[in-house]
Amino acid sequence: MFPGEEVKIILRLSSVENGFQFYIEDNGKGIAPLYLPYIFDKFFRVPEGNLHNVKGYGLGLNFVKKLVESINGNVIVKSELNVGTTFIIKI
């Protein structure tokens, strides 16, 4: 994503055998492969310096994973630098 480029978030839902898949996709800058194994860890934040005015505590994605797993689902992330990120929730 380049400065001034419009951010796009796409939500999709599909029916699969024994459940559903919910996709959340964006066209952001993506997440480096180095960080993907840790993205759902409690308190983990991708080190980006001081890029955003709003800071987080690294709890949101951990909470999402725990919530989805509590209903016997799972959540995965796929990301490509300079292309975007997709979260897939299967329930």
**Tens-place pLDDT, residues 28-81:** 999 999 999 999 999 999 887 666 555 788 999 999 999 999 999 999 999 999
CATH code where residue 48 lies: 3.30.565.10
Q: Which domain holds residue 21?
A: 9-90
Residue identified by tokens 């840790």 is 38
How many independent structural domains does the chain possess? 1
Tell me, yes or no, whether 3 lies in a domain.
Answer: no
Tell me, yes or no, whether 61 lies in a domain.
Answer: yes
Q: Is 39 exposed, middle or buried (0-12, 13-18, 19+ CB in 10 A)?
A: buried
> Pick from 60, 56, 62: which is nearest to 42 by CA?
62
pTM to 2 decimals? 0.86
The stretches of the chain forming alpha helices (DSSP H) are 60-70
Residue 48's pLDDT is 76
